[in-house]
Amino acid sequence: MEAKKACESRIVNTAQVLSCDLNNYNTLFGGILMKKLDDAATLSARRHSRVKECVTASTDSIDFLCPIHQTDSVCVESFVTYTGRTSMEIFCKVIAEDIITGERRVAATAFMTFVALDENKRPVEVPRVIPESEEEKFLYETGKERAEIRKLRRKKSKELAANISLVKPWDN
């Protein structure tokens, strides 16, 4: 399977912030931003793997660095930064731009992992990724460490799930 450049999976989506997207602090709801991130990352994963279906395996982190206001545009950029055999790490960055002043700031960053599936819903092998820009190279070089942390976190999550009660409070 031929490797692909990171830029080939790049998705950029810019939108205005609508009043219905605002919380009681007049800033963008975190959940609205999370949906935007998942939508962009899904497209990056599908573009890289060229399969019909990619599923979110994990959201490692979403770091909200500064609020996004109604006077801002919100630009979500995503691309594949690192791959395993069947998984793809997607980096997302959110740039908020004050439409009046033109001031830009990194409002959020996220790492998400997707798995490519075949028509039988089985994981399929994905192409390796080739980083080119300094940003892509940095993210690629630090990807193996994040993958190891992800594996450990997944193991701990399974241990936790095995020890959590399935009894509903109202069933007692």
Question: Mean pLDDT throughout 94-100?
Answer: 97
In the predicted structure, residue 172 carries a pLDDT above the cut 80: no
pLDDT of residue 61: 85
Instruction: Please provide the average confidence, as pLDDT, over all residues in the chain.
Output: 95
Question: Mean pLDDT throughout 125-153?
Answer: 95
> Cβ(90)–Cβ(111) under 8 Å?
yes
Q: What is the pTM of this model?
A: 0.90
Euclidean distance between CA atoms 33 and 135, whole angstroms? 22
Domains of the chain: 4-164 (3.10.129.10)
Show Cβ contacts of residue 20 under 8 Å, excluding neighbours closer than 6 positions. Answer: none
